[in-house]
Amino acid sequence: MEGRSRTGALALVGGVFAAAWLILGAAGLVGTGNAVVAALGVVACAAVFGFGETMLSPVMPTLTNAADDPVAAPTPAHRQPAPRRDRAESWM
């Protein structure tokens, strides 16, 4: 996924997860006479969801690291450390 937008990839992962849940919902709507089709739908859901997890794996750490970058996400004033006093100024 090198050279791609991280937020775009995350949106794509969301679409893959939504597709997995839709497949599972469709498998639940299959009648009791087609248990094999329902079971295949559950297996297909797991496969699509696993593909989404595989795509999510390289995206989430980079987004988390970008959130820790002070340039990308400045620290709020209430979380900034107190100013440090040097020893030369400690007598003032």
83 in a structural domain = no
pLDDT confidence band for 40 (50 / 70 / 90):
very high
The pLDDT, as a whole number, for residue 88 is: 58
Under the banding of pLDDT at 50, 70 and 90, the label for residue 39 is: very high
Residue 51: inside a domain: yes
| pLDDT at site 1 | 60
Query: Does 66 fall in a domain?
Result: no
Asked whether residue 75 is assigned to any structural domain, the reply reads no
Domain of 37?
20-61
Inter-axis angle of helices 35-68 and 6-29, to 10 degrees? 160
- Whether 40 is covered by a domain: the verdict is yes
Taking only the tens place, the pLDDT of each residue in 45-85 is: 999 999 999 988 888 877 777 666 556 555 565 566 666 66
Instruction: Please check whether residue 3 lies inside any domain of the structure.
Output: no
Please calculate the CA angle 5-11-13 and round it to the nearest 5 degrees: 105
Domain count, the chain: 1
Q: Is residue 91 part of a domain?
A: no
Looking at beta carbons, which pairs linking 52-56 to residues 24 or more positions away fall under 8 Å? 52/13, 52/16, 52/17, 52/20, 55/1, 55/9, 55/12, 55/13, 55/16, 56/10, 56/13
In a domain, 54, yes or no: yes
Share of the chain above pLDDT 70, in %: 65
pLDDT category at 32 given cuts 50, 70, 90 is: confident
